Structure 1
Amino acid sequence: MKVQRLWSIKLSSATLVLIPAAVGINYLAKALAEGLKLPVWLGSIGTFLASMLAGPIAGAISGFINNVIYGLTLSPISTVYALTSIGIGLSVGVLFRLGWFSSVKKVLLAALVIAFISAIISTPLNVYFWAGQTGNAWGDAIFAALVAHHTPVFLASFVDEFVLDIIDKIVVAYLAYVIYRRLPNKLINFFQDESHA
């Protein structure tokens, strides 16, 4: 696969419709997860799908826009993690195009890689803005326990973030995988043709 094809994005009318649709999916899923106090965020389902259909750049744009809009409307904290969403969109798109979403077993490996990338990007943000916490009660309980046992804040924050990211990204990766496989072949082929044009 040529490098330019891997990173290509054609801003066709279909892609321009896909991005806001992905943002909407992210927004609703994240709001639902927060409202139900779930131990996952679910706010990257649309990002995954956009990356899988139209490539890493489309996914990164979708994730970034969602974090900004979500931050302006429901949770200001979300805006800070626009950088994380860019990283998620790029990594999903690259891994997808390299064949990491071609089987159930590979999806699990992809989810673990994406969770690690997400945690690497988010941890310094957590430490800088929130003294190491994630804002998720489940993860922050882990953070508090680790700090109480004299674990360095940065490491405790990474563990807090990574544990949540593993759960979240596995759930999201499999949801996106199932949705993608149920999409009409005509739609999938259309986006593949666009990216190879």
Structure 2
Amino acid sequence: MQKHSMWSFRFSTASLVLIPAAVGINYIGKLIAGLLKLPLWLDSIGTILASMLAGPIIGALSGAINNIIYGLTVDPISFIYGITSIAIGLAAGVLFYKGWISSLSKAAAAGLIVGLVAAVVSTPINVSFWGGQTGNVWGDALFAVILAKTDSVWLASFLDELVVDVPDKLLVVLISYCIFRGLPQNIVQLYSNNKLETLD
């Protein structure tokens, strides 16, 4: 029952309204991280929140649309990483439905898993387009060290991505969990009811 509703393509009005809200949250987070030159992305809070409320499909759509808009308005590089955003939305949605984001400690564990997923998906993109680097100062410094010691672009690129993605997604999932817990119960119930209706 739960699995069927999790992958439903019957979008409710509430779910469709959630997408632009999630995109807005993602966009603002990414802008703040960029302006403050933080060693994190902070661009998937909306994606993960949408996945928790409305399921992995809505979360993945929110992430992909955010990358398209950011790519059109700020940085064209963002287009390519839409694949990573989709993976983040799907992973967070599945983890939530499996009960992995039901407490602070579980949310932290889920953040580590989502970070690992993001790093695995992003590494081939980084290698294909940027020689393995992420453009993040901290990650690229590690990339240079690992590459010099091992001569492995793939290992250096993966660790470059991992040291940024894991703390980023850990923080983002914890923030999303706290926002979710703070939402009025009638809003959470609205999405729960919609998910159940898709099974009728």
Using the size of structure 1 for normalisation, the TM-score is 0.97
Alignment of 1:25-36 (within 5 A): 25-36=25-36
Asked if structure 2 preserves the Cα contact closer than 8 Å seen for 1:9 and 1:54, the reply is: no
C-alpha deviation, 1:86, in angstroms: 0.4
Q: Distance in 2 between matches of 1:28 and 1:128?
A: 28
Q: Following the alignment from structure 2 to structure 1, what is the Cα–Cα distance between the partners of residues 98 and 133?
A: 34
Instruction: Give the stretch that moved more between structures: 6-15 or 148-157.
Output: 6-15
Structure 2 partner of 1:108: 108
Quote the residue 2:51 is aligned against: 51
Q: Distance in 1 between matches of 2:55 and 2:6?
A: 7
Match of 2:84 in 1: 84
Matched, 1:61 2:61: yes
- CA drift of 1:8 comes to 1.7
Q: Is the 8 A contact 2:57 2:89 kept in 1?
A: yes
Name the SS of the counterpart of 1:149 in structure 2: helix
In the other structure, the counterpart of 2:168 is 168
- Cα displacement string for residues 150-192 of structure 1 (whole angstroms, at most 9, x for unaligned residues): 3400010000101111110011011001100000000001101
User: Which residue number corresponds to residue 186 of structure 2?
Assistant: 186
Structure 1: gaps spanning 5 or more residues: none
User: Which residue identity does 1:48 align to in structure 2?
Assistant: I
2:60–2:90 CA contact under 8 A, matched in 1: yes
In the TM superposition, residue 9 of structure 1 has moved relative to its aligned partner by: 4.1
Amino acid at match of 1:10: R
Give me the whole-angstrom Cα distance separating, in 2, the residues matched to 1:84 and 1:120: 9
The alignment's C-alpha RMSD in Å is 1.0
Which residue does 1:71 correspond to in 2? Answer: 71
8 A contact 1:134–1:160 mirrored in 2: yes
Question: What stretches of structure 1 move > 6 A for 4+ residues in a row?
Answer: none
Give aligned pairs, total: 197
How far apart, in 2, do the equivalents of 1:26 and 1:63 lie? Answer: 8
What is the Cα deviation at residue 3 of structure 1? 2.6
